[in-house]
Amino acid sequence: MSCEPEKVTALVDDALAGGERDRALAHLAGCPGCREQADTERAIHEQLRRLPSPEMPPGLDTRLRARLAERRPSPPGRLALLALPVAAVLLLVVWARGLAPVVAWELSEDHAHCYSHAEPPARVRSTDPAVVGGWFSGQGTPMPSLPAEVGGTRLFGARYCYLPDVSAAPHVYYIGPGRRLSIFVLPHAARFDDGYRVRSGGRTVALLHVGPTVVGVVGENPADVETAVQRLRADPGSRRALAEELALSR
Amino acid sequence: MSLDERFESEVMPHARSLYGTALRLTRSPQDAEDLLQETLLRAYRGFASYRPGTNVRAWLFTILHRVRTDMLRKRGRSPQTTELTDDGPAVVPEHETRLTSGNEDVQRALAAVPEVFRSALVLRDIEEFSYEEIAGILGVPVGTVMSRIHRGRAHLRRLLAGRTP
């Protein structure tokens, strides 16, 4: 075999196999020039192998991770994934909001929430049904006639309460010694048999249709709830009529 | 383990040796940082299709060399066309021809080897890849790898020989 310098390189790198390797070794044994090349290349390999690995500049690692983080699925992408279950829940909410048990639960929770304050949060405070009803009518919300008193309670005031589906429902407060009552006017239709009653969270909830509106009554005292339902049912349908009735009854 | 966690545990430990190779190829810390960054970004994009258990290190160095080739092409340079024909040592600055001994001299001599040979030397002698792996990384036949390593070492030998009085 004549001198093949590239084969010597491959031999140094242990990249020859079988007969090729044997032939190269045999040639090396009788060729001082190729042996010298092999020794030199081994020395170079060792020198390079032992070179210290360059340090990364300070902060590069942080910069790299920051750039990589930018390329990761962006927040909108992740939000889109989150949005799927959220959308499903919203659909469910929209579908379920007409279900009487769901509506009753919502109203019962809101009743408890508002009366958990020392004084329920009211946007309009008056014992006069005309004032409270007028406040809602002034904002374009049709209202049934409100009683001034229900059982042992008296009209206190009202506000809009925001239901989980972000619709707003008038919430009217009636307060008496040791007893509280809520009348809600729902902004959407509810699917229930008229006269629906349920106990929810230790409270009685009644749902009824009053003219075009759906009204919910909530209270700890079932008798007060019944009284309110009767008063609302008996309502002639207009505040004026109610006011006149009240005026006559005084 | 999420894809991000796998990337962190399988790829990021190689960042330093990739940086070392990037610096030895580009000879500029700024270019090395750009090269490493683009390499990791491409690796990140391709990581989902990378099969666990295969040679992640060789895969990363393959990306690095592709990115480097793209960088040179954009600058209108190619190591193949400008340096492959250069059979003798590259022009070495005066102070680098009077090398004495030690790592710094070897580093300088290596930096003076034309890049097409230097990349093969770095992969073989520093990163200790096999000829087959280097062939895969550079996308050339094993015979070409052998030839480039041989010529790279010959360059280096001439450069280092210049140090002796």
**Torsion sign, CA atoms A12, A18, A23, A26:** positive
Closest chain B C-alpha to A63 CA, distance in angstroms: 9
- pLDDT score of A245: 41
User: Left (φ > 0), alpha (ψ -120 to 50) or beta: where does A59 sit?
Assistant: left
Please indicate if any CB of chain B lies within 8 Å of the CB of A69: no
Q: Give the ipTM.
A: 0.83
B140 and B72 within one domain: no
CA B154 to chain centre: 17
CATH number for position B67: 1.10.1740.10
Q: How many domains does chain B have?
A: 2
d(CA A56, CA A187) in angstroms, rounded, equals 64
Same domain (yes/no): B49, B100:
no
> Are B73 and B18 part of one and the same domain?
yes
Residues A139 and A229 occupy one common structural domain: yes
Contact A158, A123 (CB under 8 A): yes
Mean pLDDT of the A189-212 span: 82
Q: Which of B77, B97, B118 is the last residue of a domain?
A: B77
Backbone angles phi, psi at B104, to 5 degrees: -60, -40
How far is residue A137's CA from residue A127's CA, in Å, rounded to a whole number?
17
Is residue A73 a part of any domain in this protein?
Answer: no
Higher pLDDT, B70 or A77: B70
Is B41–A44 a contact, with Cβ atoms under 8 angstroms apart?
Answer: no
Query: Which tokens go with A104?
Result: 């009753």
Flag whether pLDDT at B156 surpasses 60: yes
- Place B2 in a pLDDT band, splitting at 50, 70 and 90: confident
Asked whether residue A104 falls in the same domain as residue A222, the answer is: yes
Same domain, B96 and B137: yes
Q: Are residues B25 and B44 in the same domain?
A: yes
The yes-or-no verdict on residue B81 having pLDDT over 60 is no
Mean pLDDT (chain A, rounded): 82
B13 touches A at CB < 8 Å: no
A19 plus A123 within the same structural domain: no
Q: Same structural domain for residues A115 and A15?
A: no
Mean pLDDT for B53-72 is: 92
**Element counts in chain A: helices (H) and strands (E):** 9, 8
pLDDT tens digits for B83-125? 444 444 444 444 433 334 468 889 999 999 999 999 999 999 9
Position with higher pLDDT, B50 vs A53: A53
**Domains contained in chain A, number:** 2
Tens of pLDDT, residue by residue over A113-142, are: 889 887 888 888 999 999 998 888 887 787
Closest-CA residue of chain A to B159: A44
Which two tokens mark B44?
């990140």
Model confidence at A84, pLDDT cuts 50, 70, 90, reads: low
Q: Above pLDDT 90, what percent of chain B?
A: 63
pLDDT at B57: 95
What would the two tokens of residue A135 be? 């406040």
Q: Which two tokens stand for residue A115?
A: 């009366």
d(CA B30, CA A67): 16
Q: Is residue A84 part of a domain?
A: no
Q: Which residue has the higher pLDDT, B134 or B102?
A: B134
Chain B contact probe: residue of A7, A39, A47 with most B CBs at under 10 A: A47
Q: Which of residues B46, B77, B108 is at a domain's end?
A: B77
Percentage of chain A modeled with pLDDT above 70: 79
Residue A34 forms part of a structural domain: yes
Task: Pick the most confident of A62-76, A150-164, B135-149.
Answer: B135-149
Q: Are residues B104 and B164 in the same domain?
A: yes
Are B99 and B146 in a shared domain?
A: yes
| Across A147-151, A176-180, B30-34, B159-163, least confident range | B159-163
Contact criterion met (CB < 8 Å) for A60 and B17: no
The domain boundary residue, chosen from A49, A66, A82: A49
Regarding predicted confidence, which is higher, B113 or A160? B113
At residue A73, does pLDDT exceed 70?
A: no
Alpha helices (H) along chain A: 5-12, 18-29, 32-49, 60-71, 75-96, 100-114, 129-137, 222-233, 239-249
Residue A31 belongs to what domain range?
Answer: 5-49
> What DSSP assignment string belongs to A19-45?
HHHHHHHHHHHT-HHHHHHHHHHHHHH
SS (H, E, C) B73-123: HHCCCCHHHHHCCCCCCCCCCHHHHCCCCCHHHHHHHHHHCCHHHHHHHHH
In this structure, are B100 and B44 located in the same domain? no
Residue A227 lies in a domain: yes
Q: Which two tokens stand for residue A89?
A: 């829940």
B149 to chain A: nearest residue by CA? A9
- The token duo for A133 is 């009803």
Give the nearest partner residue to A72 out of B4, B37, B130, using CB atoms.
B4
Taking the Cβ of residue B40 and every Cβ of chain A, the question of whether any pair is shorter than 8 Å is answered with yes
Q: What does pTM read for this prediction?
A: 0.54
pLDDT tops 50 at residue A182: yes
B60 is in which domain, residue-wise?
1-77
Q: What is the CATH number of the domain that holds A125?
A: 3.30.200.100
Residue A78 has pLDDT above 60, yes or no: no
Domain's final residue, options B56, B77, B98: B77
Residue A59 belongs to some domain of the structure:
no
- Specify whether A43 is located in the same domain as A102: no
Which region, left, alpha or beta, applies to residue A32 given φ > 0 means left and ψ of -120 to 50 means alpha? alpha
Question: Are B73 and B89 members of one domain?
Answer: no
Is A114 found in the same domain as A40?
no
Residue B14 binned pLDDT confidence (cut-offs 50, 70, 90): very high
The answer to whether B164 faces chain A, any CB pair under 8 Å, is no
Q: What is the CA radius of gyration of chain A?
A: 42
Burial classification of residue A54, based on how many CB atoms lie within 10 Å of its CB (0-12 exposed, 13-18 middle, 19 or more buried): middle
The answer to whether A131 faces chain B, any CB pair under 8 Å, is: no
CB burial of B65-85 (b: ≥16 within 10 Å; e: otherwise) equals bbbbbebbeeeeeebeeebee
pLDDT of residue B132: 95
Same domain, B93 and B159: yes
* CATH number of the domain to which B159 belongs: 1.10.10.10
Q: Are residues B63 and B89 in the same domain?
A: no
Specify whether B50 is located in the same domain as B68. Answer: yes
pLDDT number for residue B32: 95
